[in-house]
Amino acid sequence: MECPGDLPAPSDPDLVARAAAAKAALGTKVFVLGHHYQRDEVIQFADVTGDSFKLAREAAARPDAEYIVFCGVHFMAESADILTSDAQKVILPDLAAGCSMADMAVLSQVETAWDVLTELGVAADTVPVTYMNSSADIKGFVGRHGGVVCTSSNAKRALDWAFEQGQKVLFLPDQHLGRNTAVLEMGFSLDDCVLYDPHKPNGGLTAEQLRDARMILWRGHCSVHGRFTLDSVNDVRERVPGVNVLVHPECRHEVVTAADFVGSTEYIIKTIEAAPAGSAWAVGTELNLVRRLALAHPDKQIMFLDKAVCYCSTMNRIDLPHLVWALEELVAGRVVNQITVDPDTAHHARVALDQMLALPGADTPPPTAR
């Protein structure tokens, strides 16, 4: 993706000063959001840091900010556009900052899957649930069909609600979050879950499998969390006696079951903050966050779960040159890389998001251990 205009060179020694000057010139007209997985060079300019849904809500809570600069990925900026007013403009500094997981569920594929369920006579009893890490198109589909959006913090509450509405769930797009929540938190068996592959006829499943399943899991995953393996867990336990293994529920089922603690990004941060000095932690989530936690808590031994380090390549697309370029263009009166969701999709996506907000219980459950 090429930026219209001149992108500053990464070697420019004045990048930090230029970003600070542009942000100061914009004043309260701009509100910068930074996802936890962003680079340190970018996160230092964020007015608020958090996970995707927290940031979208923070944007909606700043109606006076004309520009929302979202340092994250595309689906996050879409959610911010859905939740903010028409007068606000959401900007993604680099349009190439996508999400491989969100891209694994395309609207046409999901509509085909729904047609399969309809032909089998089970669509009426199926409630679609989509993870926040999905496109606006998928959120809109879910809203049209009476479903709900969930986060990694409230997935169980969303599924509890869904099973009050119907007999089965189509869970999009992350198979691991769906499986881990259903089996480890709701008492389902692995046999209650089937994996729908959009690249195969009928998802690669028989009519009997689709009729009998309670959880129809979409074949999608996070490229970062999916790389952690059971060998990673076993290896770190051998190398670091007494280590606590703390992972995100987007990790594979066998990794989650072998871990000591499992939870969302916010949960991971709170768990590390509350941990006693001298404790050791192997964390299975994106490397930028793990490094930041290690620097913030030098009294604890905090390490990346896998020996091979891995950043989220699309999150890393947002770098300081792109942020400087976006801010300086706004100072010059030019709105670049604006993210907009068409009104019909935005309406139905908002229905699914509002249904999530209406779920009973607090936004974030108390920490639990496996």
d(CA 333, CA 331): 5
Q: Is 164 annotated among the ligand-binding residues? A: no
Beta strands at 244-247 and 193-196: parallel, antiparallel or unpaired: unpaired
Q: Is 131 annotated among the ligand-binding residues? A: yes
Q: Is 249 annotated among the ligand-binding residues? A: yes
Q: How far, in Å, are 105, 116, 219 from residue 346 at the CA level?
A: 18, 26, 25
Are the CB atoms for 70 and 91 separated by under 8 Å? Answer: yes
Nearest Cα residue to 233 out of 247, 249, 250, 248: 247
Q: Is 3 annotated among the ligand-binding residues? A: no
Are the CB atoms for 156 and 191 separated by under 8 Å? Answer: no
* Beta strands per DSSP E along 254-339: 261-262, 280-284, 301-304
User: Is omega for the bond preceding 173 within 30 degrees of 0, making it cis?
Assistant: yes
How long, in residues, is the chain?
370
For residue 6, give the DSSP letter. P
Are the CB atoms for 105 and 216 separated by under 8 Å? Answer: no
What 3-state class would DSSP assign to 256?
A: helix
Nearest Cα residue to 260 out of 152, 367, 150: 367
Q: Is 250 annotated among the ligand-binding residues? A: yes
Q: Is 313 annotated among the ligand-binding residues? A: no
Residue 223 CA to its chain's centroid (Å): 12
d(CA 108, CA 106): 6
Q: Is 310 annotated among the ligand-binding residues? A: no
Q: Is 104 annotated among the ligand-binding residues? A: no
Q: Is 222 annotated among the ligand-binding residues? A: yes
Annotated binding site: 35, 52, 99, 131-133, 152, 222, 248-250, 265, 312
Annotated binding site for [4Fe-4S] cluster: 99, 222, 312
Binding-site members for iminosuccinate are 35, 52, 131-133, 152, 248-250, 265
